[in-house]
A and B are shown apart, each in its own frame.
Chain A
Amino acid sequence: MSNPSTEALPKAGLVFQHHHFAAGCFSIAMLAGAWQVAQSVVKVEWDKLPNTVLDFREGRLTGTLEKKIDHQMPLRPTLIAYANAGRYMITGGGGDQVRIGEDNWLFLTEELRFEKDAQAHLNARVDMLASAAQQLKAQGIPLVIALVPDKARIYAQHLGYASYPDFNASRYSQSLDLLRKKGVPTVDLLTALSQGAAQNEVYYRTDTHWNQEGGSIAAKAIANEVKKLAIDAEITTFQTLETGPRTERPGDIIRLMSLDTVPAALRPRSDFEVPVATRQSSKDASGGLFGEASVPIVLIGTSYSMRGNFAGYLQEALSLKVLNAAKEGGGFLQAATTYFGDDSFKQNKPKLIVWEVPERFLYSKLEKENTWVQDVGLTQK
């Protein structure tokens, strides 16, 4: 039997003549990493770690400690940014959450994903919205749904090698039809934004959301629908003005890829825009202050309501004051749950509520939709 200590050293793929150089780099990396770990260990709040004997025996103490050390390493964000930049530059990949399209168009994979129980989720949410609309109507408050189409639907031609998936192709029209059949006034933003997209870009290339052009188009489409309801409220005029020079705007998908801190050459080209803001241009006849009892329209929804000056454009298009109660990153229900549970709703009922809903949110995993209308107290009034 041969003695392995006398055998040739094992090879692992390529043979490196300059292995001492590589070993030197490896040793430097170990030492640099050890310094990082040491800096991280200093920050660990030991008293907050799992501290029972069982936690120790079953590995929860070491598991949590490792996670804390990992996450608190000072260089971690930079490493992630450069690793992702390397992946983007070399393989054109954007990670699990991002699909890289053509010409710096970036998309969320969430818009392309297959949801196994999509139909059941849609039905549950449509029932919930119909019930909410009915309860609000009984209180004299019309509810208008603004259904936001996927960016990947409108800009499918920029998805590159991929295409907008067939299994999602009809979900916008199906959602619209179902909501309308249930008697919920729903604005078709797809038609308006698609027409707009033929003239100008209506979504940011590097962001999930509509841009100022898209926000303006969506606001006008919603205003057209709301005007049909003849809301009896004090007319207020608004004006949208530029507030600064054209500036670079790296979108939220660039942040999702952790590339917002790397040099511009290592990431997709950012969007540019001239910032605008909408200001009231007429005096209040009743003298009420913005945000108080006199605000006739309330906007609830998601981050779309906080991008592209959408809420401002909505005020301008409606000539009515709008209280923007949307929430960033809260999913389908959070803004509505917070608003309906708040005193501002209970004490000062608005004349109308606009609920902005991204289409993908109607299909995603259910939260508390089945009991939500009761949970937020809409049925008690």
Chain B
Amino acid sequence: MVFSSNIFLFAFLPLFLATYYCMPMRGRSALILLFSYVFYAWWRPDFLSLLVGVTVLTYAIALVMDYTQDAAKRYRVLFAGVALNLCALAYFKYANFGIDSLNTALLALGFTRIEFTHVLLPIGLSFYIFHAISYLVDIYRREAPPARNLVDFAAFIALFPHLVAGPVLRYHLLAEQFRSRTHTLEKFSQGCVIFMVGFCKKVLIADTVAPLADAAFAAPIPTMADAWLGAVAYTIQLFFDFSGYTDMAIGLALMIGFVFPENFNDPYTSRSITEFWKRWHMSLSNWLREYLYVSLGGNRKGVVRTYINLFLTMLLGGLWHGANWTFVLWGAWHGGILALERYWLERFKRPLLPAWLGVIKTMLLVMIGWVMFRAVNLASAGNMFAGMLGMHGLGFSPEVSWQVSADRVGVLVVGIALVYAMPWLRKNKGAYGRYLLVPLFVWAVATLSSQSFTPFLYFQF
């Protein structure tokens, strides 16, 4: 089920909220679990068994780990638990990619290819596997006690606001809220507002500029105008789509008393890539730092290992997004820049550029990264870069020009303006926004009816 759908907004959510608030506190985890499973199974009921399997197995392993006193044994149990979760992720997410890459190599060497039935990627798998790993590691590190029962734990994994596309939550930050949390009108109202803002971001901005990005990335020989339009449009689309989604997730959680950490903090105003990763998809950055970078040794094993760990974390973070060399390249791009920026700062003790120039430089680097991220393969990414350099001509190509309409470009400009005006608006003129929210939300709900199905971009990861 998708947050921006009639069935969610007008059937699932009211029914859930009504029963949730009628239910005594002790039954609420079970209710969340039941509704979350319906939410998940609406896409494909058969993959619910995988979610249940991962949940039960992880819960059992954590119990064993918690009862084990011997440190070495505890580590082995943790290792087995994390490995099993990663095996599930590897099979469903990377088997096709691995076999396809192997077949390419085999064919190049003159061997016959391996026959293989492609595996369907269960929606949200990457997210709930990360949640399960977070639980295991937190119990291992004794940062949180094990869930008091399977229902609480299953509800943490399946909690529908974050189930299919995050934010990626660390168990120890949410454990206490499963035990007790407050429900106030203030929280509920704030949640509604945050949800409405996210809904408008997705439906009114991200979905409107999407055709521009789609057209540019589909152009066989993108010109300079095509490629830059595509890069800018995708940069805006991805931000409003994903931050819109997480706003909705945060808002929904707040409606039932959960406080999720923020996931975006004006990332496109960052002055460096290092700062960008402190502001973009913060829950993933934190997860990667806490469970991957630290586990790799972080900065505790010398200068060289620190750089290698930084690079590896981003490379694996890139691969987590999808089984494609484009994501590996994107991860390497960001990992490489992070390492360079760290080196520069340690060597010269000051940023490379003044703040305003730093923002422009960061945006350019981020956009180049998004091109790799959006392209269907490396050749397509190379083709877009050639276009951005003007190697295929300057003006719009026929494939793109007919899709460039004034309203789409207008919304793109509004999107760009909002990205940069938002920090100032929030501080100074935020109150005026209240007059716009309700009409914009009504318009977005109406627009939803006239659109075909538009899933969130992060559903594919």
Contact = CB atoms under 8 A, between A and B. Distances in A.
Classify chain A's interface size: 35 or more
B446 A82 contact: yes
B415 to A, nearest CB: 12
A356 B260 CA distance: 63
Which of B11, B254, B261, B411: most chain A Cβ within 10 A? Answer: B11
B447 interface: yes
Contact of A79 (B41, B201, B262, B446): B446
B11 A34 contact: yes
A71 B161 CA distance: 26
Interface in A71-108: 73, 76, 79-80, 82-84, 86-87, 91-96, 99-100
B211 A33 contact: no
Contacts of A346: none
Contact of B443 (A1, A16, A86): A86
Interface in A4-44: 4-5, 7, 9-23, 25-27, 29-31, 33-34, 36-37
A17 B431 contact: yes
Interface stretch (A112-120, A123-131, A180-188, A287-295): A112-120
B193 A160 contact: no
Contacts of B197: 12-14
A91 B188 CA distance: 33
Contacts of B17: 30
A366 interface: no
A14 B430 contact: yes
A165 B187 CA distance: 53
Main secondary structure on B side of the interface with A: helix
A208 interface: no
Interface of A: 1, 3-5, 7, 9-23, 25-27, 29-31, 33-34, 36-37, 56-59, 62, 66, 69-70, 73, 76, 79-80, 82-84, 86-87, 91-96, 99-100, 109, 112-114, 116, 160-162, 165-167, 258
A66 to B, nearest CB: 5
A22 B193 contact: yes
Which of A14, A21, A79: most chain B Cβ within 10 A? Answer: A14
Contact of A70 (B6, B250, B442): B6
A13 B434 contact: no
5 contacts: A12-B194, A22-B437, A79-B450, A93-B407, A114-B398
Interface residues of B, number: 76
B210 to A, nearest CB: 11
Contacts of B211: 96
B6 A37 contact: yes
B100 interface: no
A23 B192 contact: yes
A20 B410 CA distance: 32
B43 interface: yes
Contact of B14 (A9, A18, A30): A30
Given A17-B431, A66-B7, A165-B402, A5 B185 contact: no
Contacts of A33: 6, 9-11, 14, 445
B408 interface: yes
B299 interface: no
A92 B192 contact: no
B181 interface: yes
Given A20-B189, A87-B407, A161-B406, A14 B447 contact: no
A124 to B, nearest CB: 20
A112 B17 CA distance: 48
B450 A26 contact: no
B405 interface: yes
Interface string B172-213: 111011000110010111111111111001000000100100
A161 B324 CA distance: 40
Nearest to B211: A96
A160 B407 CA distance: 13
B46 interface: yes
Interface in B340-383: none
A91 B413 CA distance: 12
A113 B398 CA distance: 8
B247 interface: yes
A10 B6 contact: no
Given A12-B198, A15-B433, 13 more contacts: A3-B176, A4-B260, A11-B426, A12-B247, A15-B431, A16-B430, A22-B193, A30-B14, A66-B7, A69-B6, A70-B449, A79-B449, A160-B406
Given A1-B172, A7-B259, A56 B45 contact: yes
Given A22-B189, A22-B196, A12 B437 contact: no
Contact of A80 (B193, B208, B259, B450): B450
A370 B259 CA distance: 63
Nearest to B143: A1
Q: What are the nearest 9 A-B pairs in CB distance?
A: A93-B407, A33-B10, A83-B446, A14-B433, A23-B189, A23-B192, A91-B407, A59-B44, A114-B398
Contacts of B43: 59, 62
B146 interface: no
B6 A73 contact: yes
Contact of B441 (A26, A36, A59): A26
A139 B324 CA distance: 60
A37 B11 contact: yes
A57 B44 CA distance: 6
Given A23-B192, A109-B402, A112-B402, A5 B181 contact: yes
Contacts of B41: 62
B425 interface: yes
Contacts of B44: 57-59
A1 B171 CA distance: 12
A92 B414 CA distance: 14
Contacts of B331: none
Contacts of A95: 450
